[in-house]
Amino acid sequence: MCHVLNQVARQPAPSGRPGRRRILKTLGAATAAGALLPLSSTGTASAAPRRHRTRLVLLGTAGGPAWLDGGRCGVSSAVVYEDRVYLVDLGHGAMHRLVQSGLGAGDGLGSALSPVRGIFLTHLHSDHVADWPALFATGPTNVVGRGDDAIQVFGPGDRGVLPAMFPPGAPAPAVFNPERPTPGISAMTAYLGQAFATDFNGRSRESGFTRPDDLFSVHDVDLGGVWTVDPAGKPPRLKAPLPLWEDGDVRVTATLVDHAPTAPAFAFRFDTPDGSIVFSGDTCVSANLIDLARDADVLVHEVIDPRFVDQLVAALPASQRDAMREHLLTSHTTIDQVGRDVAEPAGARQLVLNHLVPATNPARRWRAAQRGYSGRLVVGEDLLTVGVGRARS
């Protein structure tokens, strides 16, 4: 599908609770006042964001595996609390944007990963993990000044069964890696150790290179007793979010979202003493996500433009159009849905649009997501920073 995206993306697109809503809007404006912070003239993050102890930094905001706009890197974000950094997803260019963000020491010696405490991967589609191999392979050379503690990495485990064919009844293609066709993040990382063995063995003998296995502690998110993934990949309704990790004052919880047939797919919530930031991952409208995002200060949510979907499917053979359109619009959240059907019922104070499909849309098109949503809407841009809580003097 990527070649089709590249061909059509640059075509012009065709042309009950009022009191609570007013409160949410006021809270959203108050929370965000002075919290959306600009970049410096060099294109890197300015020093101003450090006024907030807790903040969101959008590293990359483009959705999908096709490169459509050189101004946006693949989806990746950072949650910052004091001097700690937590990364969510690692799309194309995540490492580059992390360096540009200035979150590392900036000492010119290789310290981009030094403040990183954890990495959280919502699902294993390539546009969300494309930079994980690069970060894994080069991580030990980018932690100058860091202590001995490992970076904790969380992501989906082996789903154990191939997804159902889409559309149903379509002939099945050849299976990649038939001995283990659905590896989770732990198995995927083990394969990286094999793929980069020449480099790792050479560097360890030449310069005492530290093994990436010593730097990264990788965990499959445990779904035992919660869900056995089936071919359809439709997650169950959860009674409560899943506790994932606590790092001092930072608490991380997760839930299952609906990106069927891809599964498992997760959303993550970060709570600090200053407030909360929730990441949807890729999903259609999800009751589990709404529960996770209840009263969040910031909801970072994916979005897709149905007009673009129409352009895309028009470029496909007629026999594929209806199935492809249904698939894209039932596994993602549209402009009309994201504010009205997700952020508003969740009571999220700010909605930050991310994983933009297509990345080439003008901002005014994305702003239509404000309809039906009483909080503050932010159209994501690479390296945009959003402060959470009260700014420090």
pTM: 0.89
The Cα–Cα gap between 56 and 79 comes to 5
Q: What is the pLDDT along the chain (393 residues), one digit of tens a residue?
A: 333 333 333 334 433 333 434 334 433 444 433 356 544 333 444 444 578 999 999 999 999 998 888 899 999 999 999 999 999 999 999 999 999 999 988 888 899 999 999 999 999 999 999 999 999 999 999 999 999 999 999 999 999 999 988 777 888 999 999 999 999 999 999 999 999 999 999 999 999 889 999 999 999 999 999 999 999 999 999 999 999 999 999 999 999 999 999 999 999 999 999 999 999 999 999 999 999 999 999 999 999 999 999 999 999 888 788 878 888 899 999 999 999 999 999 999 999 999 999 999 999 999 999 999 999 999 999 999 999 999 987
Omega before 212 cis (within 30°)? no
Name residue 146's beta-bridge partners.
Answer: none
Domains and their CATH numbers in the chain? 18-165+180-388 (3.60.15.10)
